[in-house]
Amino acid sequence: MSVFLRGPFLAPAVCGVQQPMADVIASHGVQHQQFADDTQLRLAMATDNTAGSLSIFAACTADVRLWYMQNGLQLNPDKLEALIIGTTTQVHAVTSAVLLVAVAGAELPVADEIKVLGVVLDRRLTFEKHVMMVDRSCHYHTQAIRHMRHLLASTLERKKAKAMAYNTCIAPQDAYRSCSGAVHVTN
């Protein structure tokens, strides 16, 4: 089981402070991933020692907040999200006892799901909500092609437009949808 935190800690590539921030986080044994303006923290924890793991997480984020203040930056806890990931039994055992996670001096509610780089992660990593979103997007793009069909004069233009729309909008998501087992039937 692990606790996962994401939020706009800072823009490391822009500020040029990626390595000092990584050192602060790594000193606590917390795994992290930094993107343009987003930092994700992950910490594995055992169900019998959640309090100890969450205190490590709280200390890590408090040190990150202190580092921010020392470098003239400010952390916005309102933009942070916390998620506990594990099996159904693990998640139930932990989330019944842990409703809030201490992060950088603020208490965050544990979310049911969060969106990371366009992918919706839930507590058990089932990806059900993500598959529904991809399916909905595929359906939207299919309907968009239907609505613009009459605007194209020749059969060749229609074929080119359909091929372009399919290759850019639908094919990547349709391939994902077929792998996931989700099916959407339209009339």
pLDDT by residue (tens digit) across 106-145?
888 888 898 887 888 888 888 889 888 888 887 887 787 7
* Residue 179 predicted with pLDDT over 60: no
Instruction: Compute the Cα dihedral for 109, 110, 112, 113 and give only its sign.
Output: positive
pLDDT by residue (tens digit) across 43-59?
888 888 888 888 898 89
What is the C-alpha separation between 83 and 61, in angstroms, rounded? 15
Q: Are residues 82 and 141 in the same domain?
A: no
| pLDDT at position 177 | 53
* Residue 95 predicted with pLDDT over 80: no
pTM score, whole prediction: 0.67
Q: Is residue 76 part of a domain?
A: yes
CATH number at residue 16: 3.30.70
Q: Are residues 46 and 118 in the same domain?
A: yes
AA identity, residue 23:
D
pLDDT band at 187 (very low <50, low <70, confident <90, very high): very low
160-171 exposure pattern, b = at least 16 Cβ within 10 A, e = fewer: eeeeebeeebbe
| pLDDT at position 115 | 87
Q: Are residues 112 and 62 in the same domain?
A: yes
Instruction: Give me the domain span that covers residue 157.
Output: 128-180
Tell how strand 2-7 and strand 39-44 pair up: antiparallel
pLDDT by residue (tens digit) across 4-37?
677 665 444 444 455 688 888 899 999 888 776 6
| pLDDT at position 27 | 93
Q: Are residues 144 and 115 in the same domain?
A: no
